[in-house]
Amino acid sequence: MTRRGAVHILDAFLASLIIATALLYSFQVPLGDIPTETQGLSATGYQVILSLDGNSSLGTLLLSEDWNSIEELLNIALPSGVSYNLTVLDENGFIVNTHPISNGGLKGQNIESVEYLLAVESGGCPIYRLRLQMGR
Amino acid sequence: MPTASIDFTMATLAIIMVTAGAIYGINIVAAPYLETKSSESRFYQLGRSILLSEGNPENWGTGEIPTAFGLSDGNEVYSLNVDKVTRLNSDNHNAVNYSTIWRSLGVDDVSIGIEVSLLYDLSLSVLSSVDNGDNTTYTIQATCTKDGYPVESDMSYYVTVRSSTLHATGITNSSGIGVVQFTIPDTQSGTAMLVGFSKLQDSIVTYDVLPFAHQSGAPQPPNTYATLSPLNNILYPTVTNGSSVNAVVFSYDYSFNLTSSGSEYLIPSLQDAGPMILVLTGVDGADYWSEYVAYPSIPFEVGATMDSDYILSDVSTCTYLVDVGGNHYKIKLQFRSPEKYD
């Protein structure tokens, strides 16, 4: 009886191995209606800041310390489902933004951060360091 | 039930649970690292190349056939040329077809789909109309949303019918709703074109256009009377039914009647960034019609479709924020290549 039970356990082990192999293989089949998102959060964040800096709109808002408008800009520019927190630091590393620039705090399983050095085109040419933390 | 069968069942259940749990756990732990790895993928770099290069010839937006595909205007990063983007819209007479795009991309094993869209949605609707005897008052509602969430913004509305234009401003509130009224004389009967612009900031403007009947029959489908193709700051109209009456350009802050140059109209360069809406009005017998086109002609989709149920190939989506003519848009590039190429 003991020997027969051991053989059955071996059978069960082999059966579960087959099931597991089938499951693993099924994960490899790409589904066309759910295309893979190839960008990471940091790539997305960096690209968004770079684009906003391109026509000087971000620099103008930084210079006027219009934190609400910067928050509004990021709310629209970043993809839905991405939480973020932006910290603006000056040349000496001190935090400049007087209140949080965020859409409710960092949330999500994956948290990434990018830093961007931004020089504003104005008389004094002030330099800001932007630290954008994102979660999804 | 024999003891051996109970053993067998219990052992099977236990091993299946352990195996399934292990697979789930590995997926959870490994997912972030897999995503980071794929962010540097070949497709993302290919997308960057398209958006950061001007292509060949560099000014192919003016009407030439590109031999190398690139959309940049050659100024700031992620700043795209208005005419290159406009020529991707298949409604334009000078549009480049997918075959040309694919060949000029120069990557044989990759098919591409391009979708350019506004950053958020504006939807216009006529809530009610009241006939006052010799004129009619229309109540218009604007709804601004991004992925279903309301957007507060400043609004600018225009109504044009025949050769007359009315203008109004307003806002969308915290629910994303704005309401405005227009009163149009009944003598100006015909298809009226309602143009709405929503501005969040100087470089974030979106629009919607709604044709509606003013003391006339229901509006015909787009391009019934004329097709409009803007390129290189010139509007090329092709009138198929009747004759044109007036051409107008609208932006958030400005509206002008267009100056004709033969059968074409010159499009002015306006101070404010953001899309321009070009409206051509005309008459066919007793019917006064209106047709419109946006410049740059966004939104649109072009290229290969990626939404089959099952595709035995690698499909990747890369989304970028870009500047076209001073206004920001979203461009989604989808690539497909043979499975496991990279």
Q: pLDDT-based confidence at B33, cuts 50/70/90? A: low
Q: B53 lies in a domain?
A: yes
B288 and B312 belong to one structural domain = no
Query: What is the average pLDDT across A61-90?
Result: 92
B280 and B188 belong to one structural domain = yes
B91 and B178 belong to one structural domain = no
Give the pTM.
Answer: 0.83
Of A24, A39, A54, the CB nearest to B323: A54
Q: Is the pLDDT of residue B89 over 80?
A: yes
Of the listed ranges A20-29, B1-10, B118-127, B276-285, the least confidently predicted one is: A20-29
B29 touches chain A (CB under 8 A): no
Q: Are strands B287-295 and B276-284 parallel, antiparallel or unpaired?
A: antiparallel
Beta-ladder partners of B181: B139
Encode pLDDT of B302-318 as tens digits.
988 776 555 566 678 88
B111 and B212 belong to one structural domain = no
B213 and B103 belong to one structural domain = no
**Measured distance CA(B325)–CA(B103) in Å, rounded:** 26
A23 touches chain B (CB under 8 A): yes
Q: pLDDT-based confidence at B192, cuts 50/70/90? A: very high
B67 and B86 belong to one structural domain = yes
**What mean pLDDT is reported for chain B?**
89
Contact across the interface for B321 and A48, Cβ inside 8 Å:
yes
What is the tally of structural domains in chain B? 2
B140 and B262 belong to one structural domain = yes
Tokens found for residue B58: 């560099």
Cβ neighbours of residue B55 closer than 8 Å, sequence gap 6 or more: B66, B67, B68, B69, B70, B71, B72, B84, B104
Query: What is the average pLDDT across B170-198?
Result: 96
CB A106 within 8 A of CB A133: yes
Q: pLDDT-based confidence at B243, cuts 50/70/90? A: very high
pLDDT score at A38: 59
Highest mean pLDDT among A8-17, A18-27, B22-31, B37-46: A8-17
pLDDT score at B281: 95
B100 and B197 belong to one structural domain = no
pLDDT score at A20: 78
B8 touches chain A (CB under 8 A): yes
Q: B154 lies in a domain?
A: yes
ipTM score here? 0.78
A1 touches chain B (CB under 8 A): yes
Query: What is the average pLDDT across B223-243?
Result: 94
B154 touches chain A (CB under 8 A): no
Of B15, B306, B318, the CB nearest to A16: B15
B226 and B278 belong to one structural domain = yes
Q: Is the pLDDT of residue A81 over 70?
A: yes
Q: B228 lies in a domain?
A: yes
CB A57 within 8 A of CB B199: no
Tokens found for residue A110: 């994956």
Encode pLDDT of B253-281 as tens digits.
999 999 888 889 999 988 887 899 999 99
Higher pLDDT, A55 or B147: B147
Q: Is the pLDDT of residue B342 over 50?
A: no
**Measured distance CA(B96)–CA(B51) in Å, rounded:** 17
B91 and B129 belong to one structural domain = no
- Of chain B, the percentage scoring pLDDT greater than 90 comes to 70
- Chain B interface disruption, residue of A76, A83, A134, most B CBs within 10 A: A76
- Of chain A, the percentage scoring pLDDT greater than 70 comes to 87
B325 and B265 belong to one structural domain = no
B138 and B271 belong to one structural domain = yes
- Chain B interface disruption, residue of A14, A19, A39, A118, most B CBs within 10 A: A39
Q: Is the pLDDT of residue A35 over 50?
A: no
CATH number at residue B141: 2.60.40.1940
Domain range for B56: 42-117+305-338
Q: B28 lies in a domain?
A: no
Q: Is the pLDDT of residue A3 over 90?
A: no
Tell which B residues from 97 to 136 touch A, by Cβ distance under 8 Å. 119-120
Higher pLDDT, B7 or B292: B292
pLDDT score at A56: 80
